[in-house]
Amino acid sequence: DIQMTQSPASLSASLEEIVTITCQASQDIGNWLAWYQQKPGKSPQLLIYGATSLADGVPSRFSGSRSGTQYSLKISRLQVEDIGIYYCQQASSAWTFGGGTKLELK
């Protein structure tokens, strides 16, 4: 099984701050990676797919990148509505999720 190690597990940041969350894949998954946002009380929402492509309707302050087997989600200017839990998910071999990052406001 492909393991996705996500960090940090929790993160406290200020409004307008740049936030970065990373996922390390245990083996090569190419660009088969997605990021999801789950707001409190809501179901997960697809943010990024193909490691770098923005899903429909997602604000441009969200971006994804890849360096080898490390993947990053960047929020360029944190907004109140960005608070929630973020997950990465690999789609190369079966489907596994990272452990999640809980993003809170400082």
Partner 1 sequence: EVQLQESGPGLVKPSQSLSLTCSVTGYSITSNYWGWIRKFPGNKMEWMGYISYSGSTSYNPSLKSRISITRDTSKNQFFLQLNSVTTEDTATYYCARQLYLRYFDYWGQGVMVTVSS
Residues that bind partner 1 (CB under 8 A): 32, 34, 36, 42-46, 49, 55, 85, 87, 89, 91, 94-97, 99-100, 102
Structure-token match 């409004």, residue found? 15
Of 19 and 29, which has the nearer Cβ to partner 1?
Answer: 29
Peptide bond into 44 cis (omega under 30): no
Least Å distance between CB 102 and partner 1? 7
Of 8 and 15, which has the nearer Cβ to partner 1?
Answer: 8
Cβ atoms of 87 and 23 within 8 Å: the answer is no
Which residues, in sequence order, are CB contacts of 40 under 8 Å at separation 6+? 83, 84
Of 17 and 95, which has the nearer Cβ to partner 1?
Answer: 95
What is the C-alpha separation between 42 and 73, in angstroms, rounded? 20
Least Å distance between CB 63 and partner 1? 17
